Amino acid sequence: MSASSLTSQISNLTPQNNNYVIIVAGGSGTRMGAPIPKQFLLLKGRPILMHTIEAFYHSKTNPQIITVLPDEYHAYWEELCVEHEFNIPHLLVKGGQTRFHSVKNGLDTIDDENALVAVQDAVRPLTKTGIIDLSFTHAATHGNAVTAVKSRDTVRQLREGASTHLSRDEIYLVQTPQTFVAAQLKTAYKQPYSDKFTDDASVAEAAGFAINLIEGSHQNIKITFPEDIALAEVLLGL
């Protein structure tokens, strides 16, 4: 991991391997109606982002952790880490204008083209370590591994006012982690930004890489609305 004025290292103890996770927290949290971005909202008494970091820290893969946060929240996050006695080592990187630019900032801190790099939503705190480890091992073999679940609902596609039924068996709702060989992700992120890039798989696909899906979990939810916190607390208790 390269040093940079854009980054600050929280603790010096990093794992000695070639695996990384970029945890992206770009959200302003406005949809939650909360005064602070949702990655800092409390889940069982601790900020959501800490749960997300812990999931990767406790996986067998034990990747080096790169957390991308808007610059204006770095000091606040460091205070939260002190307050909650949160000591898991991670590199703190400045966020960009969009998720794309934030991931790119995180990726720029990784020099090794042969590394494996997972990208994870900061507000997806319930990812199981089994999925994390599968994501890395599958990406090592196939170039990438994108976590997804089959839709539980019937799906329709609306085009020019007309809607058509899509086969539910073919439709996957995409989650994170999305894990790539670093060279592949770096090539993909050299493309100019497009507002069609809603996740890393869409960026890699646009660069010509075939995307491999792995099975996620319907419990691996993204915290988006206020009720999601209550649901996450229920799921943590199961």
- Positions touching its own copies (CB under 8 A) are 146, 148, 151-159, 162-168, 170-175, 196, 198-199, 201-202, 205, 210-213, 218-219, 222, 224-227, 230-231, 234-235, 238
Q: Which is nearer to its own copies, 68 or 232 (CB)?
A: 232
Q: Which is nearer to its own copies, 114 or 167 (CB)?
A: 167
* Residue 167 Cβ vs its own copies, minimum distance, rounded to whole Å: 7
* Residue 28 Cβ vs its own copies, minimum distance, rounded to whole Å: 17
Backbone angles phi, psi at 144, to 5 degrees: -160, 165
* Residue 140 Cβ vs its own copies, minimum distance, rounded to whole Å: 19
* Residue 12 Cβ vs its own copies, minimum distance, rounded to whole Å: 36
* Residue 69 Cβ vs its own copies, minimum distance, rounded to whole Å: 22
* Residue 111 Cβ vs its own copies, minimum distance, rounded to whole Å: 29
- Select from 221, 138, 146 the least CA-distant residue to 177: 146
Q: Which is nearer to its own copies, 3 or 173 (CB)?
A: 173
Q: Which is nearer to its own copies, 11 or 154 (CB)?
A: 154
> Angle at which helices 129-142 and 48-57 pack, to 10 degrees?
60
Q: Which is nearer to its own copies, 86 or 209 (CB)?
A: 209
How does DSSP classify residue 127?
-
- Select from 190, 221, 217 the least CA-distant residue to 206: 190
Q: Torsion angle of alpha carbons 72, 29, 107, 114, nearest 10°?
A: 140
Q: Which is nearer to its own copies, 111 or 227 (CB)?
A: 227
Angle CA 123–6–127, to nearest 5: 20
How far apart are the C-alpha atoms of 15 and 12, rounded to whole Å?
Answer: 10
CB atoms near residue 44 (< 10 Å): 12
Characterise 44 by phi-psi region: left (phi > 0), alpha (psi -120 to 50), beta (else).
left
